Structure 1
Amino acid sequence: MLGLQLPAGHLEVLCLGAHPDDVEIGCGGTLLCLAERDASIRVHVMTGTPERAAESTRAIGLFAPTAKISFAQLPDGRLPAYWNEVKQGLEDLAVSPGLVLAPRVDDAHQDHRLLGRLAATVWRDALVLHYEIPKWDGDLEPPTHYVSLTPEQAHRKVELLDECFPSQIGRDWWDDELFLGLMRLRGVETRARYAEAFHTTKVRVAL
């Protein structure tokens, strides 16, 4: 299996979430990895009540202590009706990241799907990796890229999810076995113990 390496040195990273906890569920382990290198991380979330925003702000501060986070406070579950506001809000971030982490373009949730599609149009020169979020819809597809995680990083991700999002504990889909199980499955697929998986449609390879 051929491994691709991000450029050495400073890296500008933008993480996009439709809802508080999207980024943490979809790429929390990757954030733990990025926090160990020279990276500036910006997180922008499109929806969120004050309670949910506070949970995500605390979580991001633990996943990536130097990251900056902001919220657009648009209505949850209604982002397609606010297409102009979402697009303008992304453009108004006025950032030029080398790496963008966003929801999948074919995610079953309409908010995720819109944000994933717009990310790739707003940041055409960045590497855009679309993370996956397990849900009852059963919409997971074979990924194209993986980030390997150590057992410590995988378990730390789950610990932080439970610690920082008390509002979600008790939901039938919020389960340590689900989060660890998906990372274990993706690890098997890339010959690692654990991994997070991503989808992308365009990668420029420098030889």
Structure 2
Amino acid sequence: MISWQLNAPTGGPLSVLAIGAHPDDIEIAAGGTLLSLAGRQHGLRVRYVLLTGTPERQREARAAARGFTPGADLEAEFHDLPEGRLPAVWAQVKEIIEGVARSFTPDLILGPAPGDAHQDHRTIAEVLPTAFRDQVLLGYEVPKWDGDMPRPNTYFPLTDEIARTKAELLDEYYPSQHKRDWWGAETFLGLARLRGVECRARYAEAFTCTKLVIS
């Protein structure tokens, strides 16, 4: 296993694009990574983009975005495309993502992984590499009924404190999801523990990196 130090090329704040189809996607999949990066001494700049969500769910996500990136320079952007129908509005998805690409050049992108069973996630994963060609793009995983968990190749180890804080913050910021039968600390910590085993850490979040050029 090869370790890679994630740093901004300029030595200043690391810039991250976190993009999701639905409120809570980003935090479920990469909340521990964001919390860890926000604690680094050189700072963090985050562009947080969601493509769907009711007003209530977007209010939750707006609070969560700040809670999972404490101290970061945060810009949050919300859209109201039809949930579950992103393939039908592919052109609008592409325009939103290309609009972000025209105004923001991140060091790292956290977005859905290719092959995700959810059509909304899969559409974003398809468009992202067409708009961002020179950034590190990590495809995250979202546990769900479909049983589509990938075989990841990139890991971000989490401390016990970060992993448990992630689970606590998910409950705090997304009360609308408490009724879901899959929702809860057992799910989030269980997956993080499994991914930790795969990279010799206690806990971890896992990603798929399709292409990476080392210079």
Which category describes the TM-score, using the shorter chain as reference length? Answer: over 0.9
1:198 aligned to 2:178?
A: no
Task: Output one character per residue of 1:7-56: Cα deviation in whole Å (capped at 9) or x when no partner.
Answer: 35222110000000000001000000111122211100000111000001
Q: Is the partner of 1:106 in helix, strand or coil? A: coil
**1:3 matched residue in structure 2:** 3
Q: CA deviation at 1:111?
A: 0.1
Q: Is the partner of 2:115 in helix, strand or coil? A: coil
Measured in 1, the distance between the counterparts of 2:111 and 2:131 equals 12
Residue identity matched to 1:77: G
Q: Is the partner of 1:148 in helix, strand or coil? A: strand
Measured in 1, the distance between the counterparts of 2:126 and 2:111 equals 9
Using the aligned pairs only, state the percent identity.
53
**1:74 matched residue in structure 2:** 81
User: Which ranges of structure 1 fall in alignment gaps of 5 or more residues?
Assistant: none
Measured in 2, the distance between the counterparts of 1:84 and 1:204 equals 29
1:99 aligned to 2:102?
A: no
Instruction: Give the alignment's TM-score, normalised by structure 2.
Output: 0.93
Residue identity matched to 2:5: Q
Q: Is the partner of 1:124 in helix, strand or coil? A: coil
Superposed counterparts of 1:119-138, under 5 Å:
119-138=128-147
Task: Output one character per residue of 1:94-126: Cα deviation in whole Å (capped at 9) or x when no partner.
Answer: 211111000011000000001011111111110
Measured in 1, the distance between the counterparts of 2:117 and 2:158 equals 26
Measured in 1, the distance between the counterparts of 2:34 and 2:25 equals 12
Q: Is the partner of 1:91 in helix, strand or coil? A: helix
**1:164 matched residue in structure 2:** 173
Instruction: Give the alignment's TM-score, normalised by structure 1.
Output: 0.97
Residue identity matched to 1:50: P
- Give structure 1 regions of 4+ aligned residues with deviation exceeding 6 angstroms: none
Q: How many residues align?
A: 206
Task: Output one character per residue of 1:117-155: Cα deviation in whole Å (capped at 9) or x when no partner.
Answer: 111111111000000000110001210100000000000
**1:87 matched residue in structure 2:** 94
CA contact (8 A) 2:109 2:137 kept: yes
Residue identity matched to 1:20: P
Measured in 2, the distance between the counterparts of 1:7 and 1:202 equals 18
User: Which ranges of structure 2 fall in alignment gaps of 5 or more residues?
Assistant: none
Q: Which is worse superposed, 30-39 or 99-108?
A: 30-39
Task: Output one character per residue of 1:42-93: Cα deviation in whole Å (capped at 9) or x when no partner.
Answer: 1000001110000011111111033221111111100011011110011112
CA contact (8 A) 2:167 2:184 kept: no
Measured in 2, the distance between the counterparts of 1:139 and 1:126 equals 26
Measured in 2, the distance between the counterparts of 1:195 and 1:34 equals 13
